[in-house]
Structure 1
Amino acid sequence: MKNFDERSLDESNTVGRAKKSQGWIILALVVTLCIIFIIQGILTGLLFGNYSTVNDDLSVLKYNVSDPAMKNDVSELWKSVLNILGDLSKLKDKVDITGGSCTTCPFGWKMIRSNCYFFSSLLETWKRSKELCAGRNGILVVIKDEFEMMSLLPIIAQKNYWIGLKRDPNNITMWMWTDGSPLTYSVWNEGEPSNAYNNEHCAEVIGKVQLWNDLKCDQRRYYLCKGVWDC
């Protein structure tokens, strides 16, 4: 068993080691703080240096723009920009925004004539078909010319598809497309549209004869969507 003097010596050694350890921790913290202050000083110097450079560049630019020759060049450039914007606006008015123009189509859609089309594999009513096309960010197809009609026929094949054509509810002798445009191109089957029993208000394309027919809207057919997104 240790006597009193030995225990006192051990306790003194333990206290000494603890104080020495604390001293190293304090020294490490001081060194870390010094490094942080040095880095902060360097970054501050770089920041003010860059600010001075940018400010000098802005001063030079301001001086140059105040030069009459530079002002004339800027004025001519601005006129050119305005002319380009005007041409783009005119071009936009001539483009059929219903069709869009893409280089790729979403999965399940087919690209035909730079447009995307979705050919359904399920039979639906005309109204439901219109809703499903809208849910796919498209419209029940609007066919504006013979070239578009002919380009769709190989995939339509022998099936019958709803198209986005319906009688105007305010005038049943008139037909309207789902995009709100009037009917200007059509390829009705012989004797159609007949409006049998005064109840055939929706249009389909009959793949077998490659022509259109009017039909009761609650009949079930495949449907054909056309993409309307911007690409």
Structure 2
Amino acid sequence: MHLLQLFTVLVVGTSLACAVISQASSSETNTCSVVACGMPGLPGRDGRDGAKGEKGDQGVGLKGQQGSPGKAGPPGPMGIQGPSGEKGLKGETAAIDPVQNQVTALENKLLALQTEFNKYKNVVLLQGLTVGQKTFFSTRHHDTFNNGRALCAKAEAAMAGPKNAAENAALHELTKRDSKYAFLAITDTQTEGKFVYANGAPLSYTNWNEGEPNDGNRAEDCATILAENGRWNDLNCDHKSLIICEL
């Protein structure tokens, strides 16, 4: 505001000065404008904006380092399940040899049986006596001759029948442990007075007590071994005696 007033004063003063100079000089015109007198005029209006210039070249500068990633946003909703793919080709069936499977199964079964047999064999060896290829064991059970044979057969064994003095000594030892006498697999049921092994084979060894077998009218058709001396005596087959088996 002050500048505008000052500017107005200057313009008015200059106009008056020009008027005085015009009157004093006859060789000059009788008019004097502000422009002719060299004084600046009032500022004009702002011109219109010019046309937009062309885009300048991109400046060259170093690329700044990438900033640290921001926090992960919340998971979006689950998308729609896509269509099922095509069914693949059927794989090849492995070739199976049925014979080989059977062989393997039999081998496993044989191994299990062998293990079971060895377990029972060890028990028998602990409780029995072995002579050569035979093992004798006492069942500690007293029964008739026929029941005794069935009991031994159930254990996959046979009723003991000594073939020599060594086997007879083993049977004598087992009899002394558990009873006064034990049945032997020797009878004369097939032919009276002719004792043979229970399987029908002729005797290869005998050890009868003095005066035995005497049978008489008592139907003493089965042989027993006596605990007192290891010798044999004939006895009724229905009598209950100690049962000894052999493997």
Could you state the TM-score of these two structures normalised by the residue count of structure 2?
A: 0.50
Greater share of helix: 1
User: Which residue type is aligned with residue 81 of structure 2?
Assistant: Q
Confirm or deny: 8 A CA contact 1:126 1:162 kept in the other structure.
Answer: yes
* Corresponding residue of 2:194: 174
CA RMSD, Structure 1 to Structure 2 (Å): 3.2
Query: 1:198 Cα shift?
Result: 4.5
Q: Which has the larger radius of gyration?
A: 2
- Provide, for residues 20-52 of structure 1, a one-character-per-residue CA deviation record: whole Å limited to 9, x for no partner: 4422x63xx56x95xx88xx69x99xx9xxxxx
Select which of 124, 127, 138 maps to 2:157: 138
- State the aligned residue count: 144
Distance 1:103 1:180, change over 3 A: farther
Alignment match, 2:142: 123
Which structure's relative contact order is higher, taking Cα pairs within 8 Å and 6+ residues apart? 1
Percent identity for Structure 1 against Structure 2: 21
3-state SS in 1 of match to 2:229: coil
Determine the C-alpha separation between the residues in 2 that align with 1:157 and 1:141: 15
Contact 1:139 1:178 in 2 (8 A): no
1:104-144, Cα deviation, whole Å (9 max, x unpaired): 71635525124232302221111111111111111111211
1:103–1:143 CA distance, 2 compared to 1 (3 A): farther
Which residue of the other structure, out of 107, 132, 151, is the alignment partner of 2:123?
A: 107
The runs of at least 4 aligned residues of structure 1 exceeding 2 Å deviation read 106-111, 113-118, 151-156
Q: Which residue of 1 aligns with 2:172?
A: 153
Q: Cα 1:168–1:21, aligned 2, differ >3 Å: closer, same or farther?
A: same
What corresponds to 2:231 in structure 1?
211
Whether 2:210 is the aligned partner of 1:194: answer no
**Contact 1:161/1:221 (8 A) holds in 2:** yes
In the TM superposition, residue 173 of structure 1 has moved relative to its aligned partner by 1.9
Q: 1:21 to 1:196 in 2, by over 3 A?
A: farther
CA pair 198-152 structure 1, distance change in 2 beyond 3 A: closer
Partner of 2:185: 164
Q: Is the 8 A contact 1:142 1:179 kept in 2?
A: no
Q: What TM-score do you get using the length of structure 1 for normalisation?
A: 0.53
